[in-house]
Structure formats: C-alpha cells, structure tokens
Amino acid sequence: MLHRCPSALLATLAAALLVASSSREAAALEPGAAVRVDPSFGPRVAEAVADAARRLDAPPCAIVLSDFQDSQTGLTLAESLAATGRTASEHVESLWFRGASRLRPFAGRRVFAFTMPASTVVYLCREDLLRIQNQPRLLTAIVLHEVLHTLGLRDDHPSSVAITERVLERCF
C-alpha cells in the first residue's frame, strides 16, 4: 500500500533535500544513463524505472495516462504529456529517482516512494523498497504510480490504493 505525504510537508522536505544536495552527488546520478536513479539502490530499481518507461509508451499500459487528470489543468495526464512534446518514456527519463532514507513522512507506515504533483524528483524510501527488490512487478508498479504524480495527478485523489490497482490492471 502506498501512502502520500501532505503537500506542505513534502514541499518543505523536498526543498531541504535539494538545497542539501551537492553537485557532485547529482553528477553521480546522471553519467550517461537514460534513467537517473540513485546508484546506491542497485540495478533492480533502475531496471524497474526503465521497465516503467517502456510500458508507458505502448498500450495497454499507456491507457492509464487517460484514466487520470492533471490536478492543475483538468486535462488527462495523456493530454498534459502530449502538450510537453515528449513521449512517456522521455518523461520518465527526465525524472530523478533519489534516496530519501532519512525521510519518514508517515511514522510507522510503509512508504515505498513519494513525490509531489508535477515534480521532477521521486524520493525512494530505502528500507521499504529494498524489502521488495526481488518483486519486479511490484517495484515497476510503484514507479508507474509515482510517475503519474509527476505528470500532475494529485495526492490521494483517487486513493493511493485505487491508483496502484489501476496501474496493475492496465500495465500487467
């Protein structure tokens, strides 16, 4: 089950992380990779991100982008993405997937990843993600769920569970 962070708290945490990041750390995430994933998570998370990018470019998974709306524009996520001139995989490849092991937005709850609507950074919760790294389908579904938020899907509208269920229905 995925849980969303309150927007104000998440914005504060995201800003603090971005300010604290060094350019050397950012460069370590990017060298020539099509997918920018914190290398400390190992290859399985990067593979899940690459798999999510591939899946979103073609039906039936691409249909999930028409199932949800951008909270700012009211357009479907597919329409918002089309307005950028990028493919779904290009959008995924433009994102940063960074570790957030010190952030526990919901004490006592399992949180695999989180982001804000329209953000270019997805924060990965190390402990919880590493527990499921041998479940590639679930790992990819979590990435797809977060990608929908980076395209403008609001937190908990619909519920986190409903979003993940739709991802699983359309993409697997």
At residue 16, the pLDDT reads 35
Higher-pLDDT residue of 6 and 60 is 60
DSSP label of 5:
P
134 burial class (0-12, 13-18, 19+ CB within 10 angstroms)?
exposed
Q: Kindly write down the DSSP assignment for every residue of 77-140, as one continuous string.
A: HHHHHHHHT--HHHHHHH-EEEE-TT--SSTTS---EE--TT-SEEEE-HHHHHHTTT-HHHHH
Structural domain contains residue 3: no
pTM of the model: 0.79
- Higher-confidence residue of 148 and 109: namely 148
pLDDT at residue 34, rounded to an integer: 58
CB neighbours (10 Å) of residue 45? 26
- Domain residues for the domain of 60 are 37-171
Kindly tell me if the per-residue pLDDT of 144 is higher than 70: yes
- Looking up residue 149, the CATH number of its domain turns out to be 3.30.2010
**102 and 1 Cβ atoms separated by less than 8 Å:** no
Checking if the pLDDT of 18 tops 70, the result is no
pLDDT at 100 (0 to 100) = 84
CB atoms within 10 A of CB 23: 7
| Residue 16, in any domain of the structure | no
28: in domain: no
Band the pLDDT of 108: cuts 50, 70, 90: low
Q: Binning pLDDT at 50, 70 and 90, where does residue 128 land?
A: confident
State the SS3 of 146-169.
HHHHHCCCCCCCCCHHHHHHHHHH
Please check the confidence at residue 49 and state whether its pLDDT lies above 50: yes
Contact present, 45 and 97 (Cβ < 8 Å): yes
Beta-carbon count within 10 A of 87 CB: 15
Residue 30 inside a domain? The answer is no
Q: What is the arrangement of strands in the sheet containing 36-37, beginning at the earlier edge strand?
A: 36-37, 96-99, 121-124, 113-114
23 within a domain of the structure (yes/no): no
Asked if residue 161 is part of any domain, the answer here is: yes
Domain tally, the chain? 1
Q: Is the pLDDT assigned to residue 101 strictly greater than 90?
A: no
**27, part of any domain:** no
Q: How far is CA 35 from the centre of its chain?
A: 12
Q: What share of the chain has pLDDT > 90, as a percent?
A: 67
Nearest to 116 by CA among 142, 147, 137: 147
